A and B are shown apart, each in its own frame.
Chain A
Amino acid sequence: MSDGRRAPAHARGPSPRASSALHGRPAPRRGAVSTVVGVIGELFITAGVVLGLFVVWQLWWTDVQADRVHQQVLAELEWPEPPVIVEDDAGPAVASEHREDPPVMDEPETGEVFAKLYVPRFGEDYVEPIAQGVDKASILDRLGIGHYPETAMPGDVGNFASAGHRTTYGKPYHQVADLTEGDPLVVRTADTWYVYRVTSHQIVNPSQIEVISPVPGLMPGEEIPELTQRFMTMTACHPMYSAAQRYIVHGELDYWAPVEEGTPAELLDAGIEPSGTAAATTPLQEVS
């Protein structure tokens, strides 16, 4: 037994190669130049790794964080659910199409989530909160879609203008370029559905604020005519992963409906059932 233990110790015995590698004969002396070059090289490698991490953070982690907040914000709304027809298990009631003047809410406080956006073209699970304001850090990076202050509220004459991220922070407008003419954009406030339809898109420079004019295209300073049309505008960055330009989608109100009446057919046809929102199927997590 004791022999057996000693034998390996003997085998391990002083081997010049092993001991110098492990216990360090002092590192070979290097000249000052090669030391400096070595440190600079390591700094470059470090910078590369940090830049890589930044990309990971920007493209992945901001999404994870923002999606979590969006889910929670939507769950906290506690809005009335559209009615479901119980007889014959007929499912959600279909709202009728109202074309008279819609109810319009007052502009809320900055940061308040006052609406949700459903876009069948963006998928069954797509629903994003719309908050007042377009400040990047507090609204767009955090709460989702932002409403340009002093543009029209949903349903009102003028231009209900919104901004959303296309590649990061939950990317509510990721697929904005997939929209084609006639696609429904369904905005819901607490009590009302507003069904807009896409009419056109354009790519503009970031300074072309006429896209969010009460009548899109009306230059700032021009006299505003009597407003009769009810527009909606989405702005997102363009091209993707850049901010050189803006991708703009314009829509116009098709009809509105009270939530207590049912759900717009556009949503039901696309398999979207707002009463069982995506938020309800995902476990909610506390967000610090």
Chain B
Amino acid sequence: MYGALWRVLPGPVWLRVVILLVLVVALVAACFEWVFPWASEYVPMNDNTVEASTS
């Protein structure tokens, strides 16, 4: 999978490394900004209120 990605990328080794770094940074930023806040709704480790049971 990652081997195929590496072969698809154009240019010399340094350019591929730069492209990969940019990709990684963009993916991590997207996770921090959108994916994780959304996912945290489904991770109950942060609930701190008391409320009447909804079940």
Contacts and interface: CB of A to CB of B under 8 A. Distances in A.
Contacts, number: 82
A27 B3 contact: yes
B48 A54 contact: no
Interface size bracket, B side: 20 to 34
A7 B46 CA distance: 67
A72 interface: no
Contact of A208 (B2, B7, B36, B50): B50
A260 B21 CA distance: 56
A243 B1 contact: no
Contact of A58 (B3, B36, B53): B36
- Tell me the interface secondary structure of chain A in the complex: mixed
Contacts of A24: 7
Interface in B1-55: 1-3, 7, 28, 31-32, 36, 39-41, 43-53
A42 B2 contact: yes
Contact of A235 (B2, B46, B49, B52): B49
27 contacts: A24-B7, A43-B1, A50-B31, A53-B31, A54-B39, A57-B31, A57-B36, A58-B45, A134-B49, A136-B46, A140-B48, A140-B49, A141-B46, A164-B48, A166-B48, A167-B45, A168-B46, A206-B50, A208-B50, A209-B50, A212-B50, A235-B48, A236-B48, A237-B45, A237-B46, A243-B46, A243-B47
Interface of A: 24, 27, 38-39, 42-43, 50, 53-54, 57-58, 61, 134, 136-137, 140-141, 146, 148, 163-169, 173, 204, 206-209, 211-212, 220, 235-237, 241-243, 246, 248
